[in-house]
Each structure stands twice: as structure tokens, then as C-alpha cells.
Chain A
């Protein structure tokens, strides 16, 4: 087992511990455990970043290619964004109970995937690759944050003044959580849009066409439309409360599927980034 893989297992262990601490801390109303969960999440970032750095040097390119690298970097951005949000506004830490399991599942999946480095091919050799992937990761991290906030909003809303409402009482008021969720969705919508646009510019450079209705292109547009629909529901049709939160909860797995599921399900010209050049 290489140092890279060992470090990655350490990171995964930290994220699993963080998830467990969130569950115990909130279930038994122990705020110190919730704080420890945020610290465990932040600590897990260190081995993960070092492992990705080691791999970057070894394979000669950033973590863009193959399920292992893609799921890894998506987890990294998700946890980084969560830790920043939780450190800036500790009242939001409780959302980690929904955010960290997403990171654990993604990184766990990555650890089970083939880990061989894939070569940069002629069509991938472009600085647009970095921009495209970076915005995809940031957008996904922000969508997961909106998902986490929507989950805690629904839990508290359904609990009314029951146990879970008390356990989550350190969160800001429900309308503030709802506004934050919408703001995260808007931010994700912007970053996802930039990801699509940078992909279109890159496709025009690489293949001579900016849009081809390839399954991955189509699904990235679908995700954008899904979140555009959310923003319309919120800002023009005035949706509030649980049904809007449920929408944000359902939307995030669609974004996840479009990033890591579509290249597996469909034959796509973009498929190489998950399945490798032969895929």
C-alpha cells in the first residue's frame, strides 16, 4: 500500500469519525461533540490534500481523470466548503450531519475504484480542463451545502418543538436557514453555469463544436435547469418551507449522478474522465 493510499484511508477515517460525532453530538445534545466533528472534518482534509498532492506529482496531472480522482476531489471541495462555513459561522455546524455522509460515501466509493493513473490525451491537454473541473467541484460542494441546510431545515420543521427541534436549536432561525439554502443554490447555479460555459468553450477548442447534446452535456444542462426551477419556485412563485427544502434535497443527487453516474451509464465522448481512454 503506497503512502498516498494510506493517507487517503486516514482521511476517510477522519470523515467517518466526523459523521459519527455529528450523529452522537446532535442525538444526545452534546455541543462539544459537534465541535469535535467539525475539527475531525478539518483534520481529515490534511491527509487528503497531501495524498492528492503526492498523486499529482506521481501521475503528472491534477485529480481530473478516473472515478477515483473525480470522486476524491468532489469530496475534498465538499468538505473544504463545509469546514469554511462551519468555522465562519459555527451555528451552521449542525448541517454537517447531512453533508459529511455525502463525503464519506463519495470517498468510500473512490477507495473501492481502480486507482491507476490515466494519461492526459490530446483533447484533455488544455488549461480549460482545470477551469472546468474546478467550477464543477465548487458547484457540487455548494449544492451539497444547500442539501445539508435543507435537510436540517426539514428535520427541524417536522419536529416542530419536539426533540430534534431542541437538538438543532443552535442553528439560526428557520427563515435564515431557508435564505441561506437559497443563496447556496444561487451560488451553485452560478458556478455550475460557469462550468457548462467553460466546457462549451473547451469543446469548441478541442472538437470544433461547443454543444453536441452528448449525454454528459445534456445532463449538466438538466442539473442547471433543475436548479433554475428551484430559483423560480423560490423567487417568482414564492415557494417557502418544507416543499422547497425537499426540492433542494432531491436536486443534489441529480447533480451527483450527472458528475459520476452518467459516464458509467451512457457512452459519452466525455466518458474518458471517469472510465479512462478505453471506456
Chain B
């Protein structure tokens, strides 16, 4: 009973109709999704779309079309399509094995074609048996079928390898889907803000935004990422590459593994790690000093460009300042005031940090513009120094081993498709047999894929050249 149900399920999942329906569904779903704003319900673009299309929202929302490509319905269909592809690949493999065997057998010498032939033609009176095969060979060549003479037969049989294109393509698609699914479980992808000169460990705490698969391993000895330099307008090869940091990857002992400038089309790649520049902003390095000017700690406050803010910049996040006992005393934010130029902003010659510190109750404690190297005194006597004002870079860091495997699966898929496209699958074997009315042409004609002609054309042409109406003189 269970076996029967299993067989039914396999039969259903492997059916050509289901595969076609699923392909259609994924196509139509994707088409519809491009017309619907994609994102979380809190996304302003989604809210705008909802208010502009109130009629469609009752359908779009329950179907999950705002997050169309992670919606359960889409994922279920994609997974079933993957299973269907695997079953289809298995079925095609079995067919290919059978076809390859037939092709191998057809090209083997010996044995009579009689009884296994598809076409038989009594040749015209006066056409000698030795004239039939050369005439048939010429006729077939005109139709695009090149034959060779072997053991008294004309043979044009495809190589047994010619049948493997479609199975290879389908198995490669299965591999692609499998690698993609495994990679989704192991991949990590995040944005890391690193100031110039700063080094950050490749660990979750270093990322501002992070998406990580449940099976991702951070490793016992994590690597570190350092930004060595930053050029806001880097050009090379006659092309402006835009804001370009020089990034180093270090091993756990601090040894540099790789250093390079990173810009679009020039990522830093090392092992499974790929680093791209995403955005950039300003970084204010602050040093906490005791009343006796002994530095106790140093931290970096990141600042983004914000044209709508009064200073032209806005803090990425607030920071806490503690006293010598470790008690958090103040909350601070830092911006970098920019010069106003032609209705926009520009970096000033002398960089200053606008430091705003507040008590836990929200009352302002310090609101001061501090030049690089200057110090502000905190209410309890400690001091805060603006050590430097420079750039920071948001790096897009992806750790994914599967990318070369995905490319390999794609390459294999295209090799399979190319084989399907260019290889013929044909069995054309022609021989001569003696019959009561004279010599007869006997042929096996199987032309299944990419043949230059078809069976009826071959039969018609052979009949025209060698048929009963034809006499020797016309050959």
C-alpha cells in the first residue's frame, strides 16, 4: 500500500505535465511580482504601492507577493520543480542508456537488415546491385546525411554519446538547485563599517547588517579585515572607479593574507570570502583620557552623509561614555559639519567633530564643535579627545564557498544543452538485398533529433532516384 502510494507520488512528481505547469507557474508568478512593490510591509515603497492599488492588495497580501521570491507558495513550487527536474533527469538518463545501446548495436557490423528495416524499395529494372549504394549515398548526402560504406552497407549512425546532452543538462540543473539550497544554509552576507586604519574581526559583532545561514561556521580562528587607505575619486584605465578603499585580510595571528584596492568589478577574493565596497562616510576616532591625560580607551564613531541634516552628516548610532568605575555616564553622538557649497555640501579644509553628550535623563551635558586633536572635559573630570576625523567604508562581505560550484553547474548545463543542440540522433543504414523482382534497397531510418531531413524526404528522394520508374540510363 505504502509502496503503491510512493510509486504514485513519484509518478505524479515526475510527470511532464506537472513540470510544465510548475514552469508556467514560476514564470507567471515572477511576471506578476515585478509589477508589485517588493519588501516588508513597513517599507515605504510597499506602503505607497498599497495605497495606489487598494483593489489588488486583498489578493497580493495573502499570496505573499510583496516578498514574492521568499513567499512559502513560491518556495514550495520551486522545491517541487527541483524534485520534478531530478525525476525527469533520472527518466532521461534511462532513455539515454537505452538509446545509446540501440545506436551502438546499429553501428555494429554483420547481420541482415531484413526484418529490422523501416523502408524497402524494389529498384528500377536494369539498375545493377553495384549501382544502388553509390546512388543512395549521393542522394543521402544531398539531403545532409553523410554516410560511409562498411561491410557492404551505407551507415550514418550517431555516436552513442550524442544522447547524453539532455540528461547532462537536467542533472546540472538539479546540481544547481542543490548547491543553491545548501549555500543558502551556509552563506553569510553582511555590511561592515570600517574606518581607515581600523581592523575588525570577521565575526557577527563587527557587522551592522548581517544575514547568516543556520549552518554557517565562523571558524575558531577568524580572519580580520582592515582598511588601509581610501581614495574618494580613484581612476584607472581611463574609467572613474568611484570611492575606492584599499583593504587587507589578515589571519588570526595578524599576518596579511591579501591586500588590494576594491571597487566595482575588482572585489577582494580570498577563499570563500568576497569583499566589495558598498558606501562610505566619515569616521571620528575618539580617545577617552583620564584627568591626568592617560588614554584609557579609543573608539570610532561612524558618521554618514545626510543632505537633509543641518550639518550635512548624521551619526550612524549613539555611543556610551563610562567613568573609571565602568558606569555609563553619558550618551553621545558625533557629526562632522560640512561646508555649504552651491546648495550642496563639501568637506571642509579643517575637519571638526560636532560632539553632543547627554545625561541618561536626556538633559544636554556638552554640545561642542571640536577640532581634530582638541579635547573636551567631561563633567566628572575625565577628558575626551577627538583623535582624528577621516573616512570609513561600508564593506559588503560575503562568505560563500558555493559560488564556483554554482558556476560549474551552469557550465555543465550549457555543455549538455550544446550537445543537445548540435548532436544528431540518427540511425541510417542502407543495404541491398536480392528479391524476386530484382535487387531491393533495404533501409533502417530513425531520425529523432536535429536531423537535416526527415524520413519521408529520404524515402521520396530514394524512390525518385532508384525506384521502379527509374532506368539505368538516368543514374
Contacts and interface: CB of A to CB of B under 8 A. Distances in A.
Interface of A: 60, 120-123, 125-126, 128, 173, 175-176, 179, 183, 186-187, 189-190, 193-194, 197, 200-202, 204-210, 213, 215, 218-219, 221-222, 225-226, 228-229, 232-233, 236-237, 262, 266
A186 B398 CA distance: 35
A2 B450 CA distance: 47
Contacts of B396: 208
Among A183, A210, A222, the most chain B Cβ lie within 10 Å of the Cβ of A222
Contacts of A228: 23
A40 to B, nearest CB: 28
A241 B284 CA distance: 71
A232 B398 contact: no
B38 interface: yes
12 contacts: A125-B264, A186-B420, A190-B418, A201-B407, A207-B276, A218-B30, A225-B23, A225-B24, A226-B27, A232-B16, A233-B20, A236-B20
Nearest to B410: A197
Nearest to B241: A122
Nearest to B180: A211
Contacts of A197: 407, 410, 414
A125 B189 CA distance: 24
A173 B264 contact: no
A122 B454 contact: no
A60 to B, nearest CB: 8
Given A197-B414, A222-B30, 18 more contacts: A122-B265, A125-B264, A173-B457, A176-B453, A190-B417, A197-B410, A205-B267, A208-B274, A208-B276, A210-B403, A213-B69, A215-B34, A218-B30, A225-B30, A229-B27, A232-B23, A236-B19, A237-B17
Nearest to B27: A225
7 tightest A-B CB contacts, nearest first: A208-B276, A236-B16, A225-B27, A123-B264, A126-B265, A122-B264, A125-B239
Contacts of A60: 238
Interface residues of B, number: 49
A190 B416 CA distance: 10
A207 B118 CA distance: 58
B31 interface: yes
A176 B276 CA distance: 51
A213 B68 CA distance: 10
Given A229-B23, A232-B19, A122 B267 contact: no
Among B26, B264, B274, B414, the most chain A Cβ lie within 10 Å of the Cβ of B264
B263 interface: yes
A210 B383 CA distance: 48
Nearest to A183: B450
Nearest to A202: B265
B39 to A, nearest CB: 11
Contacts of A120: 239
B421 interface: yes
A142 to B, nearest CB: 11
B240 A176 contact: no
Nearest to A194: B414
Contacts of A125: 237, 239, 241, 264-265
Interface string B231-255: 0000001111110000000000000
Given A125-B239, A175-B454, A208-B276, A190 B421 contact: yes
A237 B398 contact: no
Interface string B8-31: 000000001101100110110011
A210 B237 contact: no
Contact of B457 (A176, A186, A226, A232): A176
B254 to A, nearest CB: 26
A176 B452 CA distance: 8
B17 A190 contact: no
Contacts of A205: 264-267
Among B34, B241, B454, the most chain A Cβ lie within 10 Å of the Cβ of B34
Contacts of B278: 208
B426 to A, nearest CB: 13
Contacts of B68: 213
